Amino acid sequence: MTAAADHHVVIVGAGFGGLEAARHLAPTGLRITVIDRRNHHLFQPLLYQVATASLPTSEIAWPARSLLRRYKNVTTLLGTVVGIDKAGKTVLLEGEQPIAFDTLIVATGARHAYFGRDEWEPYAPGLKTLEDATRIRRRILSAFEQAEWEPDEAARAPFLTFAIIGAGPTGVELAGTIAELAHDTLRGDFRNFDTRSARVVLIEAGPRILAGFTPDLSAYAERALARLGVEIRLGHPVSQCGPDGVELGGEFLAAKTILWAAGVAASPAAEWLGAPADRAGRVRVEPDLSVPGDPAIFVIGDTAAVEGADGKPVPGVAPAAKQEGGYVAGVIKARLAGKAPPPPFAYKNAGNLATIGKRAAIVDFGWIKLRGRLAWWIWGVAHIFFLIGLRNRIAVSLNWLWIYFTGHRSARLITQGNTGTPRQTE
């Protein structure tokens, strides 16, 4: 490797992993370039709260450039990576000159996976970006607006039916919050129908919701959703999806609002690198998180397939990405200093958390499992801890307390869509 003063580290992606790597490497004086196709760092665990009108976008996203501004050796670039030239050691960008690197960290995250049915995406959007969240918020709120215009109850019903496909944490959190929005927040806002007549249907192909949690916590979450009025369809894979609804188990469910929370796939990083990948497209990395056969390139976060000490894949969650970013920075610093490399990466499980509405959650720390209101408060504190900046922590805390005690959500804005009579949800 080159001397530290001349060594150029390029980090693709300003998510949790990429930022953590940059912060750990910046004090060394290395020349660092961070590239992302968006100008902000996004706190994805709370993205569903933007989609369901609980939080504004500014409280879960921050300009990436401002987060790194105090490191004078770090350059932040807005650009779209389209490939990696391993032989030439350059990152290829859309419409810009390639950027050379000595060491490369790929932290490009994940995208929606429709299991070979990509034609469903226009009808069932997923939730990965701020644009996704505001689009989904528009669909949800526009559905209620359209229902106000429909004089016929049968014609109104599909607009008041919300189908969520996939019962992992995102699906469960969306279902619970939409149910509260309909049954509590919007109650009394409309004159021609009762928002409490809305149906929220959570569809899961597997035998239970929240399969990543223990069966007892999964069962509690199912009961909590039922108390909120959510209908749960287990063992029902979706066979068709279109503008008017979904087909599952031979039954057609008429629904104008369909949301996808069933699966994710890694970014195209494995294709760019010509590296081995798992079924989700994640790069199968070495124990030090480098690409097989190319120790100068590392892959972290949702883009990497990392095996934990228990033989199970390391989950694609923020704590894992941060740990991987810090670890890779340590490997690079050790190499440049001529020191022995650190031991192989070992993920320290921070626990699983999921919320069900505004007053219940489940928490699994391994050694202790909690459910109910206490778990909800722990879930809230944990998420606030990961937010960046005192202002955001205070703002989100106040928003949650307001919703907790009043049920009112102030971010109920239909933006960037059609104006006037909402004859369609886009």
The catalytic residue positions are: 173
Neighbours of 131 (CB within 10 A): 12
Q: Which of 44, 129, 133 is nearest to 411 (CA)?
A: 133
CA–CA dist 258, 162 (Å, integer): 6
CA–CA dist 279, 259 (Å, integer): 23
Q: How far is CA 259 from the centre of its chain?
A: 14
Please name the helix (run of DSSP H) or strand (run of DSSP E) that holds residue 384, with its range, or none.
Answer: helix 373-386
Q: Which two tokens stand for residue 145?
A: 């607006």
Q: Which of 88, 93, 121, 151 is nearest to 297 (CA)?
A: 88
Beta bridge partners of 370: 363
CA–CA dist 245, 143 (Å, integer): 13
Beta bridge partners of 253: 246
CA–CA dist 265, 230 (Å, integer): 27
CA–CA dist 283, 292 (Å, integer): 9
CA–CA dist 359, 374 (Å, integer): 9
Q: Which of 229, 230, 251, 231 is nearest to 239 (CA)?
A: 251
344 touches 287 (CB < 8 A): yes
CA–CA dist 213, 363 (Å, integer): 9
CA–CA dist 274, 41 (Å, integer): 28
Q: What's the residue count for the chain?
A: 426
47 touches 133 (CB < 8 A): yes
Q: CA separation (Å) from 37 to 41, 68, 310?
A: 11, 16, 35
